[in-house]
A = this chain, B = another copy of it.
Amino acid sequence: MSGPGEGRSGRRPGSADTRGRVLAAARASFGERGFDGATVRDVAARAGVDPALVHHYFGSKQQLFVAAMEFPPLVQAVIPELLAGPREGLGERIVLFIVGLWDGPGVRPLLTGLLRSATTDPVAAAMLRGLLAEGPFLALATAIDRPDADLRALLVGSQLIGLAMARYVMAVEPIASATPDDLARAVGPTIQRYLAGDLEAEPPQDGRGGTP
């Protein structure tokens, strides 16, 4: 379908390209310096633009942070790949991918900064709410095609936010230094059930399990 040279056809010259350069610079700056240390001036310098242009495109530093944190191309692009493997390993693949992303260089300060901002700042809270309710988890839940995709997406998000809080914000052992594989084995089946399992079933009450 795509000929030579069309791999970058989604990028346009001019403002969209500048916007993307500013976002990349913002991710680098927030990643290195954290939310408090990063400045619009530094982001502008890295992107080779005037600080006024950064304000023009993104508003405040907080709003720039929110925009930079969305990671949409990275996460959305991997969804078909995650869905392509055997369905019953999907939960583990998601945890492996997400933890690998979080563990990557420069991501941890962004992630802890987002979680910190989301508990105090309405703009960051709205951004995280949107990411949970309408982001990649909803795309995954919708692709699975089971009822209650919105609830499923949020359940996935709630477990992953809690995992990020424990691993990065609280840094509590043994989760803080568990390998991505360990976490995928422990948490993957939870994600699997939230996306594809039966959320409504009453458990057996007679201690025997199973159905008559």
Residues on A lying within 8 angstroms of B by beta carbon are 86-89, 92, 112, 115-116, 118-120, 125, 128-129, 132-133, 150-151, 154-155, 157-163, 165-166, 169-175, 178, 185-190, 192-194, 199-207, 209
Q: Is the CB of A188 within 8 A of B159?
A: no
Report how far A200 CA is from B166 CA in the complex, Å: 20
Q: Is the CB of B115 within 8 A of A119?
A: yes
Copy number of this protein in the oligomer? 2
- Extra contacts, 14 of them, besides A129-B170, A159-B190, A162-B165 (Cβ < 8 A), are A88-B207, A112-B119, A118-B165, A118-B169, A125-B170, A132-B172, A151-B175, A151-B186, A159-B159, A186-B194, A186-B199, A188-B203, A189-B193, A189-B203
Q: Is the CB of A172 within 8 A of B129?
A: yes
List B contacts of A88 (CB < 8 A). Answer: 203-204, 207, 209
Q: Is the CB of B190 within 8 A of A132?
A: no
Report how far A128 CA is from B172 CA in the complex, Å: 10
Interface of A is mostly: helix
Report how far A190 CA is from B163 CA in the complex, Å: 13
Q: Which of A157, A178, A209 has the most CB of B within 10 A?
A: A157
Interchain Cβ contacts under 8 Å between A and B, 24 examples: A86-B205, A88-B204, A92-B203, A112-B119, A116-B119, A116-B120, A118-B169, A120-B120, A129-B170, A129-B172, A132-B170, A133-B172, A151-B178, A151-B186, A154-B172, A155-B186, A155-B187, A158-B165, A158-B175, A159-B162, A161-B166, A185-B199, A186-B194, A189-B193
Shortest C-beta distance, A175 to chain B (Å), equals 5
- Who on chain B is nearest to A190 by CB? B190
- Who on chain B is nearest to A113 by CB? B119
List B contacts of A115 (CB < 8 A). Answer: 119
